[in-house]
């Protein structure tokens, strides 16, 4: 017996939760409503139909995914281990031939399945609405969006389960998970900018070095890593990744923007009109540093799984059950 036995049991047990299914239906509704609006009310059709789906994903769906999907993932995973510890059933589980590592991995995989299956159904239903609408449906782009969104969801599930294994009860778990959610959703960029300001004011770290460090901190945020990867996929041309990284900075004067484009992202500052008017970093002879690339952003996103699991296992292994 090993972690896969725990995962299968976890999947079957969690699927019996009515609250999780209700939350999944609500999330599906959030996805279908914009697509239904495009189908029945021609929302997004006035203008260029070819970019209508990109607009829908960029303006509506990315915000839905980063705001509501983590809540579904947290609801699915926050009590995975802490509830069993409180009820005493965890002792029974560990009395079987399962190690604590098997429990952590099995719980993560099982709860990932619980979130992944309904989410895949939501994406499928939504795709049918989009194909029926007058918007130009781009299957490759939509599949990419669905896959990266599922990866993002599974990362949050892994973190939620790991927090559940690192604390004593479900109350501490929900507090820890909601603190994590609020941090990555509302405060992470503010903290990154504040650290950059502190380096500038107190240590004299200015220019490209300062901006590079701030961008690196922002890419470590799983929510921001997901969004900037998707913005890169939604962009056009070989400079799409550079433009997506540049958009992680807001405001700033012309000198700061030039520093970000020229020195940090190795591009040129220029304002162009695409399907959304935006400041864009055009491509130059130099390539963007690999640690700011889409692959690096995906690595930082997946790194949360290993980090959360390692901390959870270390803490969980110290508890005297």
Indicate the pTM of the whole model. Answer: 0.89
**Quick one: 149 and 54 in the same domain?**
yes
What does the DSSP assignment read for 191-243?
HHHHHHHHHHHHS---HHHHHHHHHHHHHTSHHHHHHHHHHHHHS-STTHHHH
In DSSP notation, 24-71 reads HHHHHHHHHHHHHHHHHS-TTTSS-GGGHHHHIIIIIIHHHHHHHHHH
Smallest CA-to-CA distance from 53 within 271, 301, 230, 287 is with 230
| Residue 212 shares a structural domain with residue 131 | no
Query: Structurally, how many domains does the chain consist of?
Result: 2
Reduced DSSP (H G I as helix, E B as strand, rest coil) percent helix, strand, coil of the chain, to 5? 75, 5, 20
**Can you tell me whether residue 280 is helix, strand or coil?**
strand
Give whole-number Cα distances, 42 to 133, 226, 253, 296, in Å: 8, 29, 39, 38
C-beta of residue 162 within 8 angstroms of C-beta of residue 311: yes
pLDDT < 50 stretches in the chain? 45, 273-278
* Cα end-to-end distance, the chain, whole Å: 21
Tens of pLDDT, residues 290-311? 999 999 999 999 999 988 888 8
Pick the closest to residue 32 from 126, 124, 118, 119 (CA basis).
126
Co-location of 157 and 40 in the same domain:
yes
Residue 276's pLDDT is what? 42
List all residues 6 or more positions away from 27 whose beta carbon is below 8 Å from its beta carbon.
68, 69, 72, 118, 119, 122
Contact predicate 274/239, CB 8 Å: no
Are residues 165 and 114 part of one domain? yes
DSSP 85-115: HHHTHHHHHHHSS--HHHHHHHHHHHHHHHH
Does 197 share its domain with 247?
yes
pLDDT at 253: 65
Residues 156 and 218 in one domain: no
* C-alpha to C-alpha distance for 245 and 224, rounded to whole angstroms: 10
d(CA 279, CA 276): 10
Judge if 163 and 56 occupy the same domain: yes
142: Cα within 13 Å, side-chain hemisphere: 22
Q: Cα(70)–Cα(76) distance, rounded to whole angstroms?
A: 10
d(CA 228, CA 207): 22
Q: Clarify whether residues 81 and 132 are in a common domain.
A: yes
The answer on 196 and 166 residing in a single domain is no
What's the CA gap between 214 and 188, in Å, rounded?
11
Residue 214, pLDDT score: 95
Note whether 122 and 178 are same-domain residues. Answer: yes
Q: How far apart are CA 35 and CA 169, in angstroms?
A: 40
Residues 119 and 218 in one domain: no
Kindly state whether residues 275 and 144 are assigned to the same domain: no
DSSP designation for 124: H
Q: Please list the residues that pair with 282 across neighbouring strands.
A: 268
Distance, C-alpha 314 to centroid of its chain: 25
Quote the domain boundaries for residue 71. 3-185+304-318
């Amino acid at each position: 017996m090993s972690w896969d036995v725990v995962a299968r049991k976890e999947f079957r047990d969690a699927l019996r939760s009515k609250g999780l299914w209700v939350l999944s239906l609500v999330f599906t509704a959030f996805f279908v409503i914009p697509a239904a609006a495009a189908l029945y009310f021609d929302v997004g059709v006035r203008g260029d139909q070819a970019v209508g789906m990109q607009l829908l994903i960029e303006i509506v769906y990315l915000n839905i995914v980063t705001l509501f999907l983590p809540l579904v993932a947290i609801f699915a995973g926050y009590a995975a281990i802490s509830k069993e510890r409180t009820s005493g059933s965890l002792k029974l589980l560990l009395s079987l031939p399962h190690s604590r590592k098997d429990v952590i991995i099995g719980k993560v995989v099982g709860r990932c399945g619980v979130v992944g299956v309904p989410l895949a159904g939501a994406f499928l239903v939504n795709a049918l609405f989009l194909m029926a609408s007058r918007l130009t449906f781009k299957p490759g782009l939509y599949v990419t969006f669905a896959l990266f969104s599922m990866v993002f969801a599974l990362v949050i599930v892994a973190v939620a389960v790991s927090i559940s294994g690192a604390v004593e009860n479900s109350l501490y778990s929900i507090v820890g998970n909601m603190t994590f959610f609020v941090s990555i959703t509302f405060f992470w960029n503010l903290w990154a900018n504040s650290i950059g300001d502190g380096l500038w004011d107190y240590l004299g770290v200015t220019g490209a070095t300062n901006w590079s460090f701030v961008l690196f901190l922002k890419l470590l945020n799983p929510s921001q890593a997901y969004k900037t990867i998707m913005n890169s996929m939604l962009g056009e041309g070989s400079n799409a990744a550079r433009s997506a990284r540049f958009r992680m900075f807001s405001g700033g004067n012309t000198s700061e923007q030039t520093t970000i484009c020229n020195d940090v992202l190795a591009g040129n500052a220029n304002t162009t009109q695409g399907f959304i008017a935006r400041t864009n970093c055009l491509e130059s002879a130099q390539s963007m540093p690999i640690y700011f690339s889409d692959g690096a952003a995906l690595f930082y996103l997946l790194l949360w799984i290993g980090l959360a699991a390692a901390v959870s296992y270390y803490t969980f292994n110290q508890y005297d059950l």
